[in-house]
Amino acid sequence: MKKMKKFLYAMGIGLSVLAAGCSSGQQEEKQEVSGELSGDIVMWHSFTQGPRLESIQKSADEFMKEHPKVKIKIETFAWNDFYTKWTTGLANGNVPDISTALPNQVMEMINSDALLPLDDTIEQIGKERFSEAALSEAKVGDKHYSIPLYSHAQVMWVRTDLLKAHNIEVPKTWDELYEASKKLTADGVSGISVPFGTNDLMGTRFLNFYVRSAGGSLLTKDLKADLTSDIAQEGIKYWVKMYKEVSPKDSLNFNVLQQATLFYQGKTAFDFNSGFHVGGVQANSPQLLDSIDAYPMPKVNASDKDYGIETSNIPMVVWKNSKHPEVAKAFLEYLYQDDRYLEFLDSTPVGMLPSVTGVSDLPAYKDNETRKKFEHAESVIAEAAQKGTAIGFENGPSVQAGLMLNQHVIEQMFQDIVTNGTDPMKAAKDAEKQLNDLFETVAVEVK
């Protein structure tokens, strides 16, 4: 309990969480549904784009029609806002019954005793339909605390028309990406944007790309920050160089949406993201749809082993404070029914890959026109998704990985180097210490 208090104070939540969390501990982890479902629940999700938002709302409306005594209220928050929303909400009991999350945040939620295990729901959907790797991202002991709703992976997006016009091959190494980016930085187009905004995880993400491509990790096996290794230092210097030489200077403060929007608008030649780039370009610059494609991440050396980079299995969780967990779990199961699940995936084709087996083999999945058009890109993403992990999960899921992403220490390190001219090793040592001091607050050992 003493370490839990330290952790909550470090997160800015305080002891009121203990009251909120422990009082709900009297609930049964599994409640049997007796008779007709009834009760009001609140769902939080971060699907701010129209089609996905509409798909979830439609499922809720249909569920309520089938269960007239159930009321589902849906509230939507941008991914950037969600972390603040749940950490502050946990202090005063203002958390939902069910929500989406980011993989690295779930371990912090578990550490705060905020979630119910979902093994019964997983069994109802079919445990064998999920990959063990995806389920294990929120496994503590023999219990699973989240269910992956969909998957995607970070890959390299390319403006194929620009490469063709300049007779440039798709880069296979980071040095090749640098050279190509320099050649393509002209006429209002930047080779690539390098985002270091301190209100998002993008600096950490880009550094992880470089480090993981060489088989390294930003966390050691004993879960300490590792920013001073040779490969981490190479990566830090590489992205600082790329920022200074080929990136728009505003990207110093970019978050993920600002970063992606440049590619959507045709203002960058390269970017790193998932299949959501298809929908973004379609909405902003549909004339460029024939000129984008996805390729594997660069490596330090083209002959290096493919270690896998970043895979995201976007989870759903049920909160321990829920007064009607049986309703929340029933609605969660409802989302995985084949027709409904396929309709959800079709709201953002290529952007969301199924997290359960069998769906991608359905004719209705394969016949989607966007998937047909971007068959190569989806195959690259699907292969990358099989090999990567959430950032920092290379040695298993941990609260430390979540803190590393959500406290933006690495982003502050990059800004210190760029803005103040601080030596990369000195800045990295300071960031390491700050992260490792924060890690001392962790209260749960994940097994």
User: pLDDT tens digit string along 332-374?
Assistant: 999 999 899 999 999 999 999 999 998 999 999 999 999 999 9
Question: What's the topology of domain 155-309+407-439?
Answer: D-Maltodextrin-Binding Protein; domain 2 (3.40.190)
Examine domains 2-152+312-387 and 155-309+407-439 and report if their fold is the same.
Answer: yes
Structure-token match 């190479």, residue found: 234
- CATH code of 2-152+312-387, in short, is 3.40.190.10
pLDDT at position 19, please?
37
For the chain, domain boundaries: 2-152+312-387, 155-309+407-439
Contact 329, 67 (CB under 8 A): no
User: For residue 158, what pLDDT is reported?
Assistant: 98
The helix, strand and coil proportions of the chain, stated in percent and rounded to the nearest 5, come to 50, 15, 35
Res 2: pLDDT: 39
Give the pLDDT of residue 20: 39
pLDDT band at 232 (very low <50, low <70, confident <90, very high): very high
Residue carrying the six token digits 């087996």: 357
**Are the C-beta atoms of 405 and 200 separated by less than 8 Å?**
no
**What is the reported pTM?**
0.89
Give, for 140, the enclosing helix (H) or strand (E): strand 139-140
Question: Which of these, 297, 175, 189, lies nearest to 237 by C-alpha position?
Answer: 175
| Integer CA distances (angstroms), 386 to 131, 132, 281, 424, in order | 9, 11, 25, 33
Asked if residues 75 and 42 have their Cβ atoms less than 8 Å apart, the reply is yes
